[in-house]
């Protein structure tokens, strides 16, 4: 030992640090302690104990074997954790990365909110351990971290620690098993990093790490825990691509199923589902867990999230504990707990929490000391910061669940998000930043909470959310639009997207008529359809058919009046309010760009453009975009001008938004159902 500030003791050259637990908390602790030791030019021995690395029967000479454990974790790598790995010079091997998440979807009781992952952020999925059923061998995240810890200079012992006690010199005496025999190690500091899901020793030898720590620090109280239910679904090869790159958070409460947080994370060949809520809390047997899973899988929103045609097969189920509180006194004389034994960021980013605690502890050991007082000064503030931030998390998740479980409040939230998307540039979208931060863990809960309470945010919630919801609801009632049995999907398009697509969709002749100015009315709506473009095109061919499964509002009669469907020159007539308003659209000749272009022939939008665009995607899905652009009729006489002015006021632009939003959701559902039926017929 060497003396530190105020007579406190620091780690000295030749001292030994023992780390119990080789998960992320333990591996990060080893890496940060060894890094600090090099910075202070002190040779420190770091011994890392991980019982899931016990040497096999044919490896008697070594003290450790390959990692063969499962830490029961969903396995998400957040953007901030990715940055932390980069700071440690950890480049994740391709075989460890299960998928690179391209989008995060938050599903409420009304509509889902899809957030593309920003180009400068990385969101990944991994397997923490070797399950499900040995599919991933040593190519898992925890094994990778252990390898980097060993490369940094840590000694890895594949053993379970049986006991830890103070000796006469106030150092720490560890007993552990090696090749079936009890061995001893004396350490100058011990890091407890065993997590909260440690399984009892089959032999009955030894006690839990929590009990060991409490024997050394009687003031220690472990953090509050809550049970989760995690299960793996095997994805068929045909449906595997459809789930790649997606992370979904679902609102999944029903009368008999009470869940507060549900996530669906895509991986290579599998889909990881995590459930938290009262139904999981109350399930105490495997049979009850299966009942919860069955009820969750039967929900319509679950069906809409999983790849179409997927025949889900459960490969493994576990009930890990989640940390939802902070420990009291997770440090003492020459000891400290990191990771889940100490605290965690509530419901998010437990691995990053472990990293940050490990980094703070390593700094405290070298800058302050190893005694309890030094750790209180150097490590205690980090634990307190987690505790404070989680108070904000409690408030955030309370309002989050309240809004997203209510159909009306959920619609207000979505409408505010959509209004902001259509009206503001990317950098000024507060709601998008809030949802991204909550779902990705990319900001402190304190910062998120204050963003939610800003006057601009509350005003957008009132005007863009509450008022727009009431207005659109009245339009839906007037036109008889029924959402029952229809999946509600986002269709809003941002200004940037509209501007980029306008050049392609508007056409040269229309732009020449406008002479450089914009149309008086522009509407663009896009929806992602998990079906092929050919299926969607066939449905578009029913436009004007009396039996079409979409766009059938009350007071609006749409019929094919001339020619054949999807053939140039075919016309479709509109009769609104029993013929009070009429116009027709004519399909233009195909110019080879794949667009379906109609021109308005008469009525209030004479000369306007009506364009369908189908964009094929690599995974046999497609995006359908509808673009409307026209100038309102003016009228040639005094009364004609008054008539068309009144028409514009009585038939405002948002009515088009409501009608096409509902129609696109109907069309999407019909296309995906058609594909599902076809897949079932092939299987039969």
The answer on 100 and 63 residing in a single domain is: no
* Domain total in the chain: 4
Residue 401 lies in a domain: no
The answer on 59 and 206 residing in a single domain is: yes
Identify the CATH number of the domain in which residue 285 sits.
3.30.9
Last residue of a domain, one of 319, 352, 378: 319
Closest CA to 601 of 583, 581, 576: 583
Q: What is the extent of the structural domain holding 54?
A: 2-70+131-222+324-389
Residue 398 lies in a domain: no
The answer on 302 and 253 residing in a single domain is: yes
Contact 29, 358 (CB under 8 A): yes
Identify the CATH number of the domain in which residue 41 sits.
3.50.50.60
The answer on 616 and 529 residing in a single domain is: yes
Residue 652 has pLDDT above 90, yes or no: no
Residue 406 lies in a domain: no
pLDDT tens, position by position, 11-42: 899 999 999 999 999 999 999 999 999 999 99
Q: How far apart are CA 124 and CA 510, in angstroms?
A: 44
Residue 302 lies in a domain: yes
pLDDT tens, position by position, 144-195: 999 999 999 999 999 999 999 999 888 999 999 887 789 999 999 999 999 8
The answer on 624 and 521 residing in a single domain is: yes
What is the percent of the chain where pLDDT is above 70?
Answer: 91
The answer on 257 and 195 residing in a single domain is: no
pTM above 0.85, yes or no: yes
Closest CA to 337 of 193, 172, 188: 193
pLDDT tens, position by position, 244-292: 588 999 877 776 888 988 999 998 888 999 999 999 999 999 999 999 9
Task: Quote the longest CA-to-CA distance of the chain.
Answer: 106
The answer on 470 and 583 residing in a single domain is: no
Q: Residue 62: which pLDDT band, with cuts at 50, 70 and 90? A: low
Query: If you write DSSP's letter for every residue of 247-298 in order, what string do you get?
Result: EEEE----SS---SEEEEEE-SSEEEEEEESHHHHH--SHHHHHHHHHHHHT
Last residue of a domain, one of 266, 299, 319: 319
The answer on 357 and 315 residing in a single domain is: no
Give 179's DSSP letter: T
Identify the CATH number of the domain in which residue 614 sits.
3.30.530.20
Residue 81 lies in a domain: no
523-559 burial, b if ≥16 CB within 10 A, otherwise e?
bbbbbbbbbbbebbbebbbbbbeeebbbbbbeeebbe
Residue 535 lies in a domain: yes
Last residue of a domain, one of 273, 292, 319: 319
The answer on 234 and 297 residing in a single domain is: yes
Residue 145 lies in a domain: yes
pLDDT tens, position by position, 428-453: 888 899 999 999 989 999 999 999 99
Return the sign of the alpha-carbon dihedral for residues 71, 76, 77, 81: negative
Q: Specify the higher pLDDT residue, 202 or 605.
A: 605
The answer on 504 and 542 residing in a single domain is: yes
Contact 203, 180 (CB under 8 A): no
Q: Specify the higher pLDDT residue, 99 or 404.
A: 99
The answer on 538 and 457 residing in a single domain is: no
Residue 76 lies in a domain: no
The answer on 467 and 361 residing in a single domain is: no
Query: What per-residue confidence (pLDDT) applies to 362?
Result: 97
pLDDT tens, position by position, 462-506: 999 999 999 999 999 999 999 988 888 889 998 888 888 888 887
């Amino acid at each position: 030992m060497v003396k530190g500030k105020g007579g406190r003791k620091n780690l000295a050259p030749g001292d030994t640090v023992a780390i119990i637990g080789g998960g992320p908390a333990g591996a990060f602790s080893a890496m940060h302690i060894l890094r600090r030791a090099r910075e202070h030019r002190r040779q420190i021995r770091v011994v890392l104990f991980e019982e899931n690395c016990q040497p096999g029967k044919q490896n008697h000479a070594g003290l450790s074997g390959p990692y063969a454990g499962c830490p029961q974790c969903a396995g998400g790598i957040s953007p901030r954790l990715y940055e932390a790995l980069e700071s440690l010079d950890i480049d994740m091997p391709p075989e460890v990365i299960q998928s690179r998440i391209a989008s995060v979807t938050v599903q409420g009781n009304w509509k889902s909110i899809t957030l593309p992952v920003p180009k400068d952020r990385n969101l990944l999925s991994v397997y923490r351990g070797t399950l499900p059923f040995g599919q991933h061998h040593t190519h898992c995240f925890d094994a990778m971290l252990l390898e980097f810890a060993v490369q940094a200079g840590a000694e890895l012992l594949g053993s379970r620690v049986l006991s830890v006690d103070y000796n006469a010199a106030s150092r720490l005496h560890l007993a552990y098993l090696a090749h079936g025999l009890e061995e001893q190690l004396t350490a100058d500091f011990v890091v407890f990093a065993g997590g909260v899901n440690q399984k009892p020793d089959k032999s009955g030898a030894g006690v839990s790490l929590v009990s060991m720590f409490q024997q050394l620090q009687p003031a220690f109280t472990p953090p509050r825990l809550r049970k989760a239910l995690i299960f793996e679904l095997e994805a068929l090869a045909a449906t595997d691509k459809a789930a790649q790159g997606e992370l979904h958070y679902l609102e999944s409460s029903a009368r008999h199923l009470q869940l507060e947080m549900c996530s669906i994370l895509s991986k290579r060949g599998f889909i990881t589902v995590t459930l938290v809520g009262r139904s999981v809390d109350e399930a105490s047997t495997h049979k009850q867990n299966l009942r919860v899973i069955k009820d969750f899988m039967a929900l319509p929103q679950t069906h809409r999230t999983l790849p179409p045609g997927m025949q889900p097969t459960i490969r493994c189920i576990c009930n890990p504990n989640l940390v939802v509180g902070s420990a009291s006194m997770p440090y003492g004389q020459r000891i400290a707990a990191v990771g889940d034994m100490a605290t965690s960021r509530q419901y998010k980013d437990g691995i990053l929490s472990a990293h940050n605690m490990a980094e703070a502890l390593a700094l405290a050991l070298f800058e302050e000391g190893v005694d309890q007082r030094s750790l209180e000064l150097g490590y205690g503030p980090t634990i307190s910061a987690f505790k404070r931030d989680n108070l904000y998390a409690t408030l955030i998740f309370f309002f989050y669940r309240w809004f997203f479980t209510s159909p009306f409040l959920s619609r207000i939230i979505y409408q505010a998000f959509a209004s902001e998307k259509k009206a503001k540039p990317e950098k000024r979208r507060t709601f998008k930043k809030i949802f991204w931060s909550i779902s990705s863990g990319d900001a402190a809960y304190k910062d998120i909470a204050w963003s939610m309470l800003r006057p601009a945010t509350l005003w957008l919630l009132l005007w863009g959310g509450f008022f727009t919801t009431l207005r659109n609801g009245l339009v839906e009632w007037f036109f008889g639009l029924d959402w029952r049995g229809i999946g509600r999907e986002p269709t809003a398009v941002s200004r940037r997207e509209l501007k980029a697509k306008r050049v392609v969709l508007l056409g040269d002749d229309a732009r020449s008529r406008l002479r450089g100015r914009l149309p008086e009315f522009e509407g663009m709506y896009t929806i992602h359809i998990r079906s092929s473009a050919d299926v969607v095109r066939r449905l578009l061919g029913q436009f004007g058919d009396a039996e079409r499964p979409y766009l059938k509002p009350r007071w609006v009669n749409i019929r094919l009046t001339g020619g054949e469907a999807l053939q140039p020159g075919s016309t479709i007539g509109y009769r609104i309010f029993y013929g009070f308003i009429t116009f027709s659209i004519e399909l233009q000749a195909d110019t080879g760009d794949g667009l379906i272009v109609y021109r308005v022939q008469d009525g209030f939008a004479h000369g306007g453009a009506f364009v369908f665009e189908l964009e094929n995607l690599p995974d046999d899905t497609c995006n359908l975009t509808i673009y409307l652009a026209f100038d309102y009729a003016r009228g040639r006489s005094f009364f004609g001008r008054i008539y068309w002015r009144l028409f514009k006021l009585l038939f405002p632009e948002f009515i088009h938004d409501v009608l096409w939003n509902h129609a696109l959701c109907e069309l999407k559902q019909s296309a995906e159902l058609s594909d599902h039926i076809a897949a079932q017929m092939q299987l039969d």
